[in-house]
Amino acid sequence: MASVPFMKDPTPENNFDVGDTVEVLADHDKGGERVRGWVRGIVVQVDAKMVAVQFRVNVYLTDGWMVPDHILWFPQNSSNLRAPSPKNRPTPPKPVVNKADLL
């Protein structure tokens, strides 16, 4: 196949990939109450301009309606979308070194 000249490498410039865990600033249910804050979700679709994030908790639109499929769309460069903060990440279990660790 012939080489095609280009000014810039045609690699995608997406910040997120499907399956990434992200945090979103949104209205959601926490402890039985509706709050506005950062909530974790999983990226389920990505295109050149938008990112779709699905949540395990109820999330709400700005006008108060609950989103029935738990999926919100955000622009790729949204300030309401970020990688999860390290303080909220679960700590991985310690590896088993010897039999005494199992007891």
Residues 13-65 have pLDDT tens digits of 668 899 999 999 999 999 989 999 999 999 999 998 999 999 999 999 988 89
Based on the structure, what is the number of domains in the chain? 1
Residue 48: its pLDDT value, please?
86
Residue 102: its pLDDT value, please?
58
pTM for this model (two decimals) = 0.70
Q: Are 59 and 52 in contact (CB under 8 A)?
A: no
Tell me, yes or no, whether 65 lies in a domain: yes
Tell me, yes or no, whether 34 lies in a domain: yes
Tell me, yes or no, whether 6 lies in a domain: no
Domain that holds residue 61: 21-84
- Residue 73 or residue 98, greater confidence: 73
Tell me, yes or no, whether 26 lies in a domain: yes
Tell me, yes or no, whether 44 lies in a domain: yes
Tell me, yes or no, whether 97 lies in a domain: no
pLDDT at 97 over 70: no
